Amino acid sequence: MGLTSALNTAIFGLTHNQRQIDVTAANIANANTAGYTAKRVEADVYFDKHGNVSGLLTSDIRRDVDRAIQAGYWDSLAANAYARTFSGYTSEIDRTIGTIGDSSSLPSLMSKLNTNLAALVSAPDSYAARQEFLGTADLLARRLNSTYESFQDMRARADSAIGNQVGEVNQLLKRVEEIDAAIQKAKLTGMPGVDLYDQRDRYLEQLSGYLDVSVSFDTNGYTRINTYSGQILFAEGKAAQIEFKTTGTLKPGQDGNSITVVTPGGTPYDLVDASRSGSLMALVNLRDNTMPQAQAQLDELASQLSLAFSNVPVASTPATVGAETGATLDLAGLQSGNAVSLTYVDSGGVTRNVSFVAVRDPALLPLPASTTARPDDIVYGIDISSGNTATYIAQIATALTGSNLAVANDGTGKLRVLGDTASGTVMRSLSANVTVTGSANQGLGLAVFVDARNGQQLYTGALENGGQKTGFARSIALDATLKTDSSRLVNYQTTPTTNSPKDSSRPQYLLDALTKTNRPFDAAVGIGTEGDPFRGTVMNFVTQFVTFQGEQAQTAKEEASARSTLTQNLALRYEEDYKVDVDEELGFLVQLQNAYSANARVMQAAREMFDVLLNSV
């Protein structure tokens, strides 16, 4: 090695060492700065044709960051934020419903209603027992109202939070855009700009809590951010714009406003369809699925509770015409939402169950199979808007064409259904379930609860206007006429004679309807399945409802805890990967100082040798 080469090597060494010393000192100074990553100087030297060091091609500052560990940590942030947000809301739902230990909770009031009815059965003529039952029924209705409103308020809060978080995500994307621009500028001016990468990582880390994003970097050094499905959020230095308008009115059973992303190229897409995790997606799921489901379960409870008291079975009477047997049924009491049930055995020996559901709006026809909660029936809708039973019968006859059943008007306006001996078709049963419109002479049923959306209207489970059941928990109320005349709880007959005030038939009917009569519940609310819906009493359904929400909250809590633990572990691993090890840096600093001194000695020796050479000339 010649003197010139030695001198060049020493000069380059001093320059490189000084830069390493500066970077190492900065590492030590920022060891406790959040988000600061350890830095190293990378040198790329070039040599002349003799193998001597001639200069430095690059002398970049590199960050000690493992991208795989970083990506795993950021992914966990999205899942953790989703679980934490979901758990917070589901726990609030569970607390709102309450437990049997809380005297004002739904399960406690339902239990008390049962107890009050049992007391009324024992003393039907007791004014105090009647008032006690009515007071509990009123409290129960109001509790259903307030619980529904609480869920609605949670939906509104989630919708508002979506708006806030969309604004925060837009701000983060803009910050990344600014940082990317600064990084590109630093490259053009030859400045290292390495601290800008730390700032960008902090913004990307925050973004990962809102959405499950995929982050990469193109060949030009620009950040690229994609959603879970690959849609663009940020590309080529430009941020997409996320648009969301807070939903003015969150209607029962309807989703809130969507979140739209407009890419830098001007292409719009639905962010919800493109994402699956993060706090933002948790809020959307809560607003559009979880809380509406809880409201639907409340509506199902309110509906079945009301109909259990107000609906009465209408039995058919045997009928025979020649060799054919069957039954006749009076359809005069049908209300919108009421149903006629028919069971027969067809010519092939298969038992068929058919439900005819009454509607007043023919535009609703034909009705979907899911109209009833039964999984084993064929559903037909019949238009009763004419009020003429003859038209009801004609529609039923049309629906049963090809069944070999003889369907006709018996001449008195009643439905008559006969089997067919020739084909082996047998009519097994025919009945209806109708809602009473008065308090006497219509059976033992009583409309204890009414629909208070527009005054006090009879609740029949009508399908018109989106369905009377939808939102019913919000408007269910105690029939005001019972408050002024509690004797209606006992008096069910005035013709031909009035029943005794000590007659417990009606209170017993109401009690049995609440605690003994099994009925299928709508699987669409999430309890049971379409093929195997939950079947039980109203009291059983209350237990199922409370259990469902309690288990959902507990599962969400456990998931949030597990996700939090995982994220903490990944955070520690990520921090250990990038953080500054002060002991290691101090040791490295000593090495750098020694190398600096060695290069300085080489320069000093070279200088002395040059002086000798010059003096010898």
User: Closest by alpha carbon to 295, among 461, 144, 162?
Assistant: 144
Lowest-pLDDT range of 26-35, 70-79, 408-417, 441-450:
26-35
Lowest-pLDDT range of 82-86, 469-473, 565-569:
565-569
Residue where one domain finishes, among candidates 425, 459, 492: 492
Residues 129 and 230 in one domain: yes
462 within a domain of the structure (yes/no): yes
Residues 271 and 377 in one domain: no
Residue 107's pLDDT band, with cuts at 50, 70 and 90, is very high
Q: Is the pLDDT of residue 58 over 50?
A: no
Helix ranges, 485-581 (H): 505-515, 538-578
Average pLDDT in the 605-609 region?
Answer: 67
SS (H, E, C) 454-489: CCCECCCCCCCCCCCCCCHHHHEEECHHHHHCHHHH
Q: Is the peptide bond before 318 cis (omega within 30 degrees of 0)?
A: no
Q: Taking the alpha carbons of 167, 170, 176, 178 in that order, is the dihedral positive or negative?
A: negative
Between CA 231 and CA 209 the distance in angstroms is 18
407 within a domain of the structure (yes/no): yes
Would you say 407 and 328 are in contact if contact means Cβ atoms under 8 Å apart?
no
Residues 27 and 94 in one domain: no
437 within a domain of the structure (yes/no): yes
Residues 482 and 366 in one domain: yes
- Decide which of 590 and 468 is more confident: 468
Domain count, the chain: 3
534 within a domain of the structure (yes/no): no
Q: Is the pLDDT of residue 473 over 90?
A: yes
Residues 145 and 19 in one domain: no
Query: How much is the pLDDT for 3?
Result: 60
- Do β-strands 238-239 and 324-329 pair in parallel, antiparallel, or remain unpaired? unpaired
User: pTM to 2 decimals?
Assistant: 0.85
225 within a domain of the structure (yes/no): yes
Segment 15-51, tens digit of pLDDT: 666 566 656 666 666 666 665 666 566 655 555 566 6
Residues 146 and 187 in one domain: yes
510 within a domain of the structure (yes/no): no
Residues 277 and 324 in one domain: no
Q: Is the peptide bond before 520 cis (omega within 30 degrees of 0)?
A: no
Phi, psi of 329 (to 5 degrees): -140, 135
Segment 531-588, tens digit of pLDDT: 999 999 999 999 999 999 999 999 999 999 999 999 999 877 866 655 655 556 556 6
User: Which residue range(s) make up the domain with 49?
Assistant: 3-64+580-615
Structure tokens at 249: 């009115």
Task: Give the whole-number percent of the chain exceeding pLDDT 90.
Answer: 72
Average pLDDT in the 438-464 region?
Answer: 96
Q: Which SS3 state, helix, strand or coil, does residue 328 take?
A: strand
Residues 317 and 209 in one domain: no
Residues 249 and 351 in one domain: no
Residues 132 and 43 in one domain: no
Residues 6+ apart with CB under 8 A from 315: 431
Between CA 63 and CA 192 the distance in angstroms is 11
Lowest-pLDDT range of 442-446, 494-498, 583-587:
583-587
CA atoms lying within 13 Å on the CB side of residue 608: 6
Between CA 227 and CA 74 the distance in angstroms is 13
Q: How would you label 205-215 residue by residue, b for 16+ Cβ within 10 Å and e otherwise? A: bebbbbbbbbb
Residue where one domain finishes, among candidates 468, 492, 516: 492
Structure tokens at 426: 């047998």
506 within a domain of the structure (yes/no): no
Structure tokens at 24: 């190492």
Would you say 415 and 395 are in contact if contact means Cβ atoms under 8 Å apart?
no
Query: How much is the pLDDT for 242?
Result: 97
Residues 126 and 213 in one domain: yes
Average pLDDT in the 318-323 region?
Answer: 95
Residue 57's pLDDT band, with cuts at 50, 70 and 90, is very low
Residues 584 and 446 in one domain: no
Between CA 400 and CA 413 the distance in angstroms is 18
Query: How much is the pLDDT for 18?
Result: 59
Residue 614's pLDDT band, with cuts at 50, 70 and 90, is confident
537 within a domain of the structure (yes/no): no
Q: Is the pLDDT of residue 444 over 90?
A: yes
Segment 372-405, tens digit of pLDDT: 999 999 999 999 999 999 999 999 999 999 999 9
CA distances from 442 to 133, 337, 506 (A): 22, 18, 12
